[in-house]
A and B are shown apart, each in its own frame.
Chain A
Amino acid sequence: MPTFPFVGFGAGLRTEHYQDVLDGASGSDWFEAISENYTDTSGRPLQVLERVRRNYPVALHGVGLSIGGTDPLDKRYLGNLRRLVDRIEPFVVTDHLCWTGVEDRCVYDLLPLPYTEESLAHVVERVQIVQDTLSRRIALENPSTYVEYRHSTIPEAEFLASVAEKADCAILLDVNNIHVSAFNLRFDANIYLDRIPPDRVAQIHLAGFNDRGTYLFDTHDAPVSKEVWKLYERALSLFGPVSTLIEWDANIPTFARLCEEVAHARRIAEEAHDTPIPIATDSARNAVHDAGAHPRP
């Protein structure tokens, strides 16, 4: 049974906040960095990430793995990612359950997969290759979805759970994406949560969305909505304490404002588990580092 470190409540590492973080502004227990912003650079961004890593646990979150794609896995991308992982020693490496392009034409988006037995086997095989390359488990995130394929035969939650079990990987559960997809495709978000195996959830994401009337648009440019906070509460009742991240990628607020959202997540978790969860101390951060990043047996 895999176990994942609980590292508290974190925020995405944005260039706008580099100086706040380096100056030691508190409010976040850990930070998530977008892998692609650091794999092809030897300049300031990587230097900043290394300095952040000295004081905080870091998660590496990718958008370019295309785990569901039909092109062969990109060896150069994986090699760069492995080097970054070795350098930064993140507590988790994550990406999305999606595809991003085909035949060297990437569209920089998280395109939906059909959920069939065939695509399940395909994704499982590719996850195993990635995990062997990185020498660690990865976590896959449920995407926000706007369309459904007619020939899908497996509901998304079951598909994600099956990938996690068969590939022995983890789940990054984006609670905002569950809410957005549930509205867009008219399924029950609570039943979705019920289908996720608790022992596979390594991390939770929370973010804001935009209501377009006939669909919800996952924009990550706003505070977390009250419906998503409520779904988060339910998730915690099912999964126990899970490292949680606030994603705010556009219309980026001040660091102080971002940390207010992080604090809100902490308060909800404290109420859910009826116990205070203080901001991680240096010794707690070092313990995560020393524990490694849930290496695979």
Chain B
Amino acid sequence: MLALILDHDHRKVDGSLSCFSPPPHGTIAERLDVYVAGFPARVQDALEESYPAVAHLIGHSEFHKLVRRYIGSLSQFPSNLNDIGAFLPAFLAFDRANDSFPFLHDLARMEWALVCAFHAPAPSPFDTSHLAAVSEGQWTDAILEFQPAVAVLRSNWPIHTLWAARELPREELDIAVQDQGECVLIRRAGSELHCDKVDANEAVVMEALIAGTPLGRLGELLDRPEARSDEVTRWFARWIQQGLIGNVRLQNSSH
């Protein structure tokens, strides 16, 4: 029965008939179709909920076909349907949908990051006395720990603009995608999700800091670091004000 549902191939129904009693009305095939048709429908609903922009931009029919290909690619299915979309960004990196929609992989990465941020633990209050505890000479070894719901993504595609377009009727979509790279910062304030475009340099820096790069190595990432230091200071102040920072610790220290 499971093979029938996963293969969703009605031509295989005949082989499943023998273990079931004939129904009082209709046919076994029709009854089994409740399960056969239900499985991809439920997966599609779950994926539409996690990836509304992807689903909207490629259209219902193409999304339906994409879902079928995605199901066929999975060797395991998570026990929680809400997690079924976790592998879609990786799948889209190589799926033929990219031929017509080359931005899909990055857009999906962004949408899954939004899902993760939505479900992340509530931010812990940042104790600013931790800043005072770091002496001037120790700042090069300081590592910023960001709140669990914070994510930054860089893309060569206009992912924020594409994501915003999920609210527009498809016939009104007219987005230039080539050479229109965008970077986004995802964060949560209380239970409210925020997704904003950010400057590419800020995105590079945040990405490195989220990965655990000490502050002292930021110079390697920036053009003309001496000109950028005021900018980094402004970013840092905004990150504190927006509640993005959870902790500051020194390299090789857990505190």
**Contacting chain B: which of A101-109, A154-162, A263-271?**
A101-109
Instruction: Tell whether B236 is near chain A: CB-to-CB under 8 Å.
Output: no
Scoring A40, A64, A111, A146 by chain B CB atoms within 10 A of each residue's CB, the highest score goes to: A146
Contact mask for chain B residues 24-40; partner A; CB cutoff 8 A; 1 contact, 0 none? 11111011101100110
**Given A107-B77, A109-B5, A147-B28, is A40 in contact with B82 using a C-beta cutoff of 8 Å?**
yes
Measured between beta carbons, the chain A residues less than 8 angstroms from B130 are none
Contact B188 A104 (CB under 8 A): no
Chain B residues bordering chain A, tally (CB within 8 A): 42
In the assembled complex, the Cα of A149 lies from the Cα of B28 at a distance in Å of 11
Contact mask for chain B residues 56-78; partner A; CB cutoff 8 A; 1 contact, 0 none? 00000000000000000000111
Measured between beta carbons, the chain A residues less than 8 angstroms from B1 are 111
**Contacting chain B: which of A6-14, A42-50, A119-127, A284-292?**
A42-50
In the assembled complex, the Cα of A230 lies from the Cα of B16 at a distance in Å of 36
In the assembled complex, the Cα of A45 lies from the Cα of B122 at a distance in Å of 12
In the assembled complex, the Cα of A217 lies from the Cα of B41 at a distance in Å of 15
Question: What's the minimum C-beta distance from B236 to chain A, rounded to whole angstroms?
Answer: 26
Instruction: Tell whether A260 is near chain B: CB-to-CB under 8 Å.
Output: no
Closest A-chain residue to B118, C-beta based? A43
Measured between beta carbons, the chain B residues less than 8 angstroms from A41 are 118-119
Question: What's the minimum C-beta distance from B244 to chain A, rounded to whole angstroms?
Answer: 16
Contacts of B98-152 to chain A: CB distance below 8 A? 117-122, 148-149
Contact B122 A106 (CB under 8 A): no
Closest A-chain residue to B80, C-beta based? A36
**Given A47-B191, A105-B2, A108-B39, is A42 in contact with B119 using a C-beta cutoff of 8 Å?**
yes
Instruction: Tell whether A39 is near chain B: CB-to-CB under 8 Å.
Output: yes
Measured between beta carbons, the chain A residues less than 8 angstroms from B23 are 146-148, 184-185, 214-215
**Given A214-B26, A215-B30, is A42 in contact with B120 using a C-beta cutoff of 8 Å?**
yes
Measured between beta carbons, the chain A residues less than 8 angstroms from B83 are 40
Interface of A, helix, strand, loop or mixed by DSSP: mixed
**Given A42-B120, A184-B23, A215-B23, is A104 in contact with B76 using a C-beta cutoff of 8 Å?**
yes
In the assembled complex, the Cα of A214 lies from the Cα of B23 at a distance in Å of 9
**Given A107-B6, A108-B42, A149-B20, is A43 in contact with B77 using a C-beta cutoff of 8 Å?**
no
In the assembled complex, the Cα of A58 lies from the Cα of B188 at a distance in Å of 27
Contact A150 B191 (CB under 8 A): no
Contact mask for chain B residues 184-196; partner A; CB cutoff 8 A; 1 contact, 0 none? 0000100100000
Question: What's the minimum C-beta distance from B59 to chain A, rounded to whole angstroms?
Answer: 22
Measured between beta carbons, the chain A residues less than 8 angstroms from B79 are 64, 74, 77, 100-101, 106
**Given A184-B23, A215-B25, is A108 in contact with B81 using a C-beta cutoff of 8 Å?**
yes
Instruction: Tell whether B200 is near chain A: CB-to-CB under 8 Å.
Output: no
Instruction: Tell whether B222 is near chain A: CB-to-CB under 8 Å.
Output: no
Instruction: Tell whether A226 is near chain B: CB-to-CB under 8 Å.
Output: no
Q: Which 5 A-B pairs have the closest CB atoms?
A: A214-B26, A42-B121, A44-B191, A186-B24, A41-B119
Residues on A lying within 8 angstroms of B by beta carbon are: 36-37, 39-45, 47-48, 64, 74, 77, 100-102, 104-109, 111, 146-151, 184-186, 213-215, 217
